[in-house]
């Protein structure tokens, strides 16, 4: 079992070495820079204030009806207890 794992690791290492040999260093650096910039862009976009406000409004739209119905039931139960 351990021999099989070691052989799989060696195959993975040689395939990654072969993949890096395919690209020249300038192309590798440009690809890495592109991935880093794209990752930063996605991170900034997902934390955009307008997206956050959309999530807050979505939460309010979903929860307010249930809170309102509970509030009506509470006040109804208080008023019926007060009358008797």
Digit-coded pLDDT (tens) for 12-48? 555 555 555 677 888 888 888 989 889 888 888 877 8
Biggest alpha carbon–alpha carbon distance for the chain: 87
User: Residue 1 pLDDT > 70, yes or no?
Assistant: no
Q: How far apart, in whole angstroms, are the C-alpha atoms of residue 28 and residue 40? A: 18
- Residues counted in the chain: 84
The listed range with the strongest mean pLDDT (49-53, 61-65, 80-84) is 61-65
Q: How far apart, in whole angstroms, are the C-alpha atoms of residue 22 and residue 25? A: 10
Domain residue limits, the chain: 25-83
In this prediction the pTM is: 0.38
Q: Are 45 and 51 in contact (CB under 8 A)?
A: yes
């Amino acid at each position: 079992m351990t021999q099989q794992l070691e052989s799989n690791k060696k195959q993975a290492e040689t395939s990654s070495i072969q993949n890096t040999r395919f690209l020249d260093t300038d192309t590798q650096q440009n690809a890495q820079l592109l991935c880093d910039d794209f990752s930063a862009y996605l991170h900034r976009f997902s934390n955009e204030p307008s997206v956050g406000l959309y999530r807050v409004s979505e939460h309010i739209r979903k929860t307010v009806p249930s809170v309102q119905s509970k509030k009506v039931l509470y006040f109804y139960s208080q008023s019926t207890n007060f009358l008797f």
